[in-house]
Amino acid sequence: MSYLRKDIAEMAGYVPGFQPQEEGWIKLNTNENPYPPSPQVVAAIREELEGDGAALRQYPDAASRRLRQVAAELYGFDPSWVIAANGSDELLNNLIRACAAEGEEIGYVHPSYSYYATLAAIQGARVRTFGLTEDFRIADFPQRYDGRLFFLTSPNAPLGFAFANDYIEELASRCTGLLVVDEAYVDFADANALELVRRHENLVVTRTLSKSYALAGMRLGLAVARPEIVAALDNIRDHYHLDRLALAAGEAALRDQNWLRATVGRIRTTRERVAAELRRLGYTVIDSHTNFLFASPPDGDGRRVFEALFARRILVRHFSDPLLAHGLRISIGTDAEMNVVLAALAEIG
Ligand SMILES: *Cc1c(COP(=O)(O)O)cnc(C)c1O
């Protein structure tokens, strides 16, 4: 259609993980949390809806001040270093828009989050990808990388390993543009890169409440960066990007760190048990710092196992990409769900 920009008309959109519309599936394909969010979150949303929902008549706080304040206290930064967003996807999008003009380059590791490529395409930015070495470093990363922005998914999705902080610092000093550390899974890891934001002016850390806080349905993300970067992200975003219920939910979720610790602890315990069981079945399993496992069956045919699980109404993620086709990404569910999966895998062979 000639109405559309030529590149937009021709682009392939991002395909999110399958969301079955009927009940009865064990759903381990989009790294959602199997446990509910904090009861404080539900109470805060109910409170926002009190009095027949009269509060909804009015626009939300366009600056998300209370949510930023709570996040800033939790992270140990001044609120001017923190921005909230409608999912961390919004932040990734606006970071590209803020840094890369049409035709300019952004980079990221492949395999990692393929949505970066879609966002770059919308902006008309060019993409350069870097592979991984056997020991999970970036292959052939230049001494000086001049792309406008580089996304480092750490812990990595879909493989689950994490980059060490001293390596992230080295990358930050080799980048002349921004280094964005996408920490979507960091609450399941042992370390994080927040402190590095103070030391490297080109370093940005993004977080999401979708996974560890069990709020994928609310759409909440956060970023920590220099105030100048935060100010630019504020200037280019939609002004009322977070609705009242999301703001209330986000504040309550961040305030209930005990709930976070408890659910994350359960998921990590299950993760380690399932990893050991999978290895007993002959699977190759990458040590995970996330709420999923990347595991490969002995015959290296990920698709075969994906299909056999699918037939049993168990949904995991298989990627047809040649670098990933040998394995499966399995989100960590409840212990009961994982027992069903393990029994199925033992049967499938
Ligand atoms: C889930 C995920 C996101 C998106 O998070 P939202 O806050 O739900 O938008 C970003 N990056 C990675 C690597 C993810 O896995």
Does 320 lie in the same domain as 242? no
Q: Using the structure block, give the residue that is written with the tokens 């539900």.
A: 42
Ligand 1 binding pocket includes 291 (Cβ within 6 Å): no
Regarding the beta carbon of 297 and ligand 1, being less than 6 Å apart is answered no
Q: Rounded distance, CA 2 to CA 211, Å?
A: 40
Is 308 a domain residue?
yes
Examine the domain organization and report whether 202 and 328 are in the same domain.
Answer: no
pLDDT of residue 240: 97
- Using the atom order of ligand 1, give the atom closest to the CA of residue 90: 9
Answer yes or no: do 157 and 299 share one domain: no
- Asked whether residue 7 is domain-assigned, the answer is no
Which residues in the chain come in under a pLDDT of 70?
1
> Is the CB–ligand 1 distance for residue 222 below 6 Å?
no
Cβ–ligand 1 distance for 180 under 6 Å, the answer no
Residues 109, 170 within the same domain: yes
**How remote is the CA of residue 181 from the centroid of ligand 1, in Å?**
12
Pairing outcome for strands 126-130 and 149-153: unpaired
How close is the Cα of 31 to the center of ligand 1, in Å? 9
On whether residue 113 sits in a domain, the answer given is yes
Best of 210, 211, 222, 289 for a ligand 1 pocket test (most atoms within 8 Å of beta carbon): 210
Nearest-atom number in ligand 1 for the CA of 216 is: 8
Residue 297 belongs to domain spanning: 24-37+258-348
φ, ψ (nearest 5 deg) of residue 302: -60, -40
Element holding 260 (H helix, E strand): helix 257-280
CATH number of residue 71's parent domain: 3.40.640.10
Q: Of 108, 113, 180, 331, which is best to mutate to test ligand 1, by the most ligand atoms within 8 angstroms of its C-beta? A: 113
Count of structural domains within the chain: 2
Q: Verify whether ligand 1 is closer than 6 Å to residue 157 (CB atom).
A: yes
Beta carbon of 111 within 6 Å of any ligand 1 atom: no
Task: Specify whether 149 is located in the same domain as 238.
Answer: yes
On whether both 33 and 44 belong to a single domain, the answer is: no
39 contacts: CB under 8 Å, gap ≥ 6: 259
Q: What is the pTM of this model?
A: 0.97
Ligand 1 atom 15: the closest Cα is on which residue? 184
Radius of gyration of the chain (CA): 20
Q: Which of 222, 255, 288 is the last residue of a domain?
A: 255
Q: Say if 19 falls within a structural domain.
A: no
Q: Is 290 in the pocket of ligand 1 (CB under 6 A)?
A: no
Token readout for 347 is 């049967």
User: CB 283: neighbour CB atoms within 10 A?
Assistant: 19
Q: Answer whether residue 28 is part of any domain.
A: yes
One domain, residues 106 and 219:
yes
275, two tokens: 């990893």
Closest CA to 168 of 187, 155, 184: 155
Q: Is 130 in the pocket of ligand 1 (CB under 6 A)?
A: no
Question: Does residue 242 sit in the same domain as residue 314?
Answer: no
Provide the pLDDT for residue 314: 97
| Residues 129 and 107 occupy one common structural domain | yes
pLDDT value at residue 16: 82
- Are residues 250 and 150 located together in one domain of the fold? yes
Backbone φ, ψ for residue 64 (5° rounding): 45, 40
